[in-house]
Amino acid sequence: MKAQFAIFLFSIILGTGCINTSGSKDMNETRIVSGKVMQNIFNEINTPFKYGVVVEQPDSGKLVDSPTIYREKGKWYMTYIIFDGKGYETWLSVSDDLLHWNTLGKILSFSENTWDANQKAGYPSLIDIEWGGSYEMEKYNGKYWMSYLGGKTEGYEAGMLKVGIANSVSNVTPAEWDRVTSPVMTPEDNDARWFEKGTIFKSHIMHDKQKLTGQPFVMYYNAAGDTARFESIGMAVSDDMVTWKRLGNDPVITRHKGICGDAQIARIGDVYVMFYFGAFWKPGAFERFACSYDLKNWTDWTGDDLISPSEDYDSTYAHKPWVIKWNGVVYHFYNAVGSRGRVIALATSKDLKK
């Protein structure tokens, strides 16, 4: 009850409330997120203080990318992917304070003669999305789950990429996860839409406990068409984590040019916040967000970037978010490209270097 009351109070501060504030009796009616609420969300999630680089590889030839952070038994864990010139593999690291990280080992590695032989970029699923919540991974059918970008072609995001699913009885052990034999979503599927017939990139799976979409599991992913090569964010739903159905005919976020990608969902009061990055529809790559009440209809923020290049280590790109709030501090992890290569950097809501 204390947690529910805290959420209620916080949502009042945001101007949203924890009930249907649209005044409509039809809960299926689309609710637009007001400018006031969008501004309040921005104020809450803003991280103006850049802490610096937190994960990098000693070998400058290896590129670090795409952080995902969760908590288990009092420790923080981060998965990230490494590109070594051949393709992606997924690694695991651990931290006590979210600032200092120690590498544990690989959890998705190269294989031979498989559909995903040279690309396995993993993204842990079913992490608690409540803002300031537990950030623990939820089990389904007694296992932890992870979606991943998979493919067999060597190179940087080369060839036709597809969505794979893996699971494990442990999410803290540096050991290979068990992979479902075949991809669960591909650009060649009969129900693939116009904006995803070329390739599918990063995916993010959350548990929709309210079943606002009609299903308990929701996947957001960025994809490119076979002719229009810009990237947009689409969504799909599932009731078993393996069989997925696309939802809607169009992307939920797109600029019809450049990139909108790498979605992460958080819930602040009764507002769902989608962190994502934009690139090339204006110069460079930068962090953005959108808001929704129903997970399907999104209001895009039109104000300042959450993060954009400003330091030597992120002078080229500042993108690919993972954002949490812990002990009153917002931590915004992102992929930085600049003077130190491709690394993982951190920005915060408070100056932690003082």
Q: How confident is the model at residue 3 (pLDDT cuts 50, 70, 90)?
A: very low
Q: At 22, which amino acid appears?
A: S
CATH class (in words) of the domain with range 2-21+31-348: mainly beta
pLDDT at site 59: 76
Mean pLDDT value across residues 108-135: 98
pLDDT at site 227: 85
pLDDT at site 60: 67
pLDDT at site 28: 44
CA dist 164 and 186 (Å) reads 9
Average pLDDT over the chain reads 92
264-308 confidence digits (pLDDT tens)? 999 999 999 999 999 999 999 999 999 999 999 999 999 999 999
CA dist 30 and 41 (Å) reads 19
Mean pLDDT value across residues 95-101: 98
pLDDT at site 222: 97
Burial 146-165 (b: 16+ CB within 10 A, else e): bbbbbbbeeeebeebbbbbb
pLDDT at site 34: 96
pLDDT at site 29: 55
CA dist 343 and 156 (Å) reads 16
3-state secondary structure of 219: strand
Q: Is 326 exposed, middle or buried (0-12, 13-18, 19+ CB in 10 A)?
A: middle
Closest CA to 217 of 245, 247, 246, 237: 237
pLDDT at 168 over 90: yes
